[in-house]
Amino acid sequence: MAVGNGSAYGAEQLAHDVSKLVGYAVSTGLVHPGDAMWAYNTVLEAVGAQGPAAPDAAELLADAYVCAPTADLAQAGPVSAFVSPQEGFDLEGTVGRIAAAGIAAGCEEDTPSGADRIATRVMNVLMPRPSEVARRFADEYAAGGPQAATDWFYRMSCDSRYVRRAAIARNIAWTSSTPWGELEITINLSKPEKDPKAIAAAGAAPATGEVYPACQLCMENEGYPGRGAGAAHGAHPARQNLRILPITLGGEHWGLQYSPYAYFDEHCIAMSAEHRLMHVDRENMGRLLDFVDLFGHYFIGSNADLPIVGGSILSHDHFQGGRHVFPMMKAPAAGAFEIPGFADIACEVVRWPMSVLRLRAADRERLLDAAAHVLDVWRAYSDPSVGILASTVEDGTEVRHNTITPVACKDGSDYVLYLALRCNITTSEHPLGVFHPHAERHHIKKENIGLIEVMGLAILPPRLVEELGAVRGHLLAHAGADDRAALARALESDPLCASHAAWALELACAHPDIAPETADQIIRDGVSDVFAGVLEDAGVFKWDEPGRAALDHFLATL
């Protein structure tokens, strides 16, 4: 069998890699030393191998005695071989070679997703069961507080390769200063590319009966073996190494896990134990506050509960949170306002391209009452002069358009709720949404503006790496030349650049002396400016005079 660069990879190499992987799992605390020998053999089984012996079998066996309950019966204990994490251990490379051996042994189909299923099955062998994770988390929470508990759970989720640190490291990220402060940009390169073989197989897959699990956010994913594109109902990722922490929000069963392809530090997901639709209301805003009561060092927010202005998954009630202070949270107040009957709630309009109200109070029930009032008024609010319509009638049915993207965090003993006003109305001029990225910005961003982007972190598609590289080439080739028409022709005739042509010409006019050492920053800042425009598009009350007057009118109706 050959792997990678063509060097032979035989049983001895497999034994070496599995042994090293077990050592890694012991050193990171995923596997108890007493389970090391068992783990070695169980990984072999997962990749269809029957041997040979681990090269360091003696150490694996000896290690079991260090922490064994029976060790007290002996006079002198053995010394652990796994006292410190292994320097320079290549987790991705090692797991990749072991997965390839499993494919060669016929355990899975020879596709990237097949390899991923084996790799995930192998990592599952090397980690604690869900109940053990929950118990350890509770112990850490009781002894060290919420941050110690999430520190441990996050590290465990990374070490077990559920959070794909190596893939996340491929993302390209930068910040640029804009009129709205520093905005954060990420070009997402971490999610696996779709394999052509998988796409072809998906076309042939039968789809009858119930889908299981119903979606990728269901609690039933914990331990799920995954399936390829050729299976009934198509591909579903392997989740054997997923550990969901049971938490209670609003008196209900919810789960907490980390995002495998995170865009910021400790990007976590809280999801309802029930597969049900997203809903933004007082009840779920209360659950956001319950969450920050449990984890005051995290923010938590919900996507809006309507298409266009919601996130990518509306079918499963869930929140996203994490340990990150977003640009929106750093934005100053543009002004204060008062809600009649809620003089105890500090209310501000945030100076932000989207239309965001910031409500703050120490009393969570009062804060929830105020937020629910804003939501109720906004859901029914229309102002045709600025394009806001609360509802329309389509095929005899009333369709609602207004909702809110809520985000909660703690500030000392205060609760803070950010309420981003959203409206998903469409027109013939803006068929994808009036308060959605407009057509002239689709060359950079066309997708929904979800919770994370509302807060000022753009998640941009991977195609931009190649396209922006091509734009860079044309800008440099025509630097210093006055012939804009020649640059325009070059951009428009290049399939990678045609959609960016108008924007790239603006960059060329603004930076006639663009040079190799300045080009990257100029393009990155240009992308950030487009993202600022995207957020302005998504704002229901613009920052011009009519927009501010319309906002004041809305606030006066509260």
Q: Which is nearer to Zn ion, 316 or 401 (CB)?
A: 316
**Cβ 264 to Zn ion, closest distance in Å?**
24
Sign of CA dihedral 398, 402, 407, 412: negative
Contact positions with Zn ion (CB under 5 A) in 235-294: 275
Find where tokens 């045709």 sit. 384
DSSP conformational letter for 422? E
Helices (H), 388-515: 451-454, 463-477, 484-493, 501-510
Of the pair 218, 354, the CB lying nearest Zn ion is at 218
Distance CA 180, CA 357 (A): 16
Nearer to Zn ion, 102 or 255 (CB): 255
Give the binding-site size for Zn ion (rule: CB under 5 A). 6
Phi and psi at residue 409, to the nearest 5°:
-155, 170
Residue 321 contacts residue 344 (beta carbons within 8 Å): no
Q: How far apart are CA 70 and CA 54, in angstroms?
A: 24
Tokens standing for residue 102: 């499993």
**Where in 173-232 is the site for Zn ion (CB under 5 A)?**
214-215, 217-218
CA angle 193, 199, 205 (to 5 degrees): 140
Considering beta carbons, is residue 214 or 336 the nearer one to Zn ion? 214
For Zn ion, the closer of residues 167 and 313 by Cβ is 313
- CB nearer to Zn ion: give 107 or 217: 217
Residue 11 vs 215, nearer CB to Zn ion:
215
Is 215 or 231 the residue whose CB approaches Zn ion more closely? 215
Closest approach, Cβ 8 to Zn ion, in A, equals: 45
Q: Which is nearer to Zn ion, 236 or 316 (CB)?
A: 316
CB of 400 to Zn ion, least distance (A): 23
| Listed residue (354, 355, 336) closest to 345, CA to CA | 336
- The distance of closest approach from Cβ of residue 256 to Zn ion in the complex, given in angstroms and rounded to an integer, is 15
Strand 2-3 vs strand 318-322: parallel, antiparallel, or unpaired? unpaired
67 contributes a contact to Zn ion by CB under 5 A? no
Tell me the three-class secondary structure of 41-99, residue by residue: HHHHHHCCCCCCCCCCHHHHHHHCCCCCHHHHHCCCCCCCCCCCCCCCCCHHHHHHHHH
Q: How far is the CB of 195 from Zn ion (least distance, A)?
A: 25
Report 361-390 residues binding Zn ion (CB under 5 A): none
CB of 258 to Zn ion, least distance (A): 17
Instruction: Give exposure, 487-520, as e/b (b: 16+ Cβ within 10 Å).
Output: bbebbbebebbebbbebbbebbeebeebeeeebe
| Cβ closest to Zn ion, residue 160 vs residue 221 | 221
Q: For tokens 């550990």, what's the residue?
A: 243
User: How far, in Å, CA of 199 to CA of 113, rounded?
Assistant: 11
Minimal distance, residue 218 CB to Zn ion, in Å: 3
Q: Give exposure, 79-107, as e/b (b: 16+ Cβ within 10 Å).
A: ebbbeeeeeeeebeebbbbbbbbbbbeeb
CA-to-CA distance for 30 and 17, rounded, in angstroms?
17
Given a contact cutoff of 8 angstroms between Cβ atoms, the answer to whether 420 and 408 are in contact is no
Query: Which residue number, 217 or 505, has a Cβ lying nearer to Zn ion?
Result: 217
Output phi, psi for 133, to 5 deg: -65, -45
Task: Provide the mask over 98-137, with x wherever binding to Zn ion is found by CB under 5 A and - wherever it is not.
Answer: ----------------------------------------
| Least distance to Zn ion, CB of residue 288, Å | 19
- Considering only residues 287 through 326, tell me which ones interact with Zn ion, judged by CB under 5 A: 316
For 385, other C-beta atoms within 10 Å of its C-beta total: 11
Which positions lie near Zn ion, rule CB under 5 A? 214-215, 217-218, 275, 316
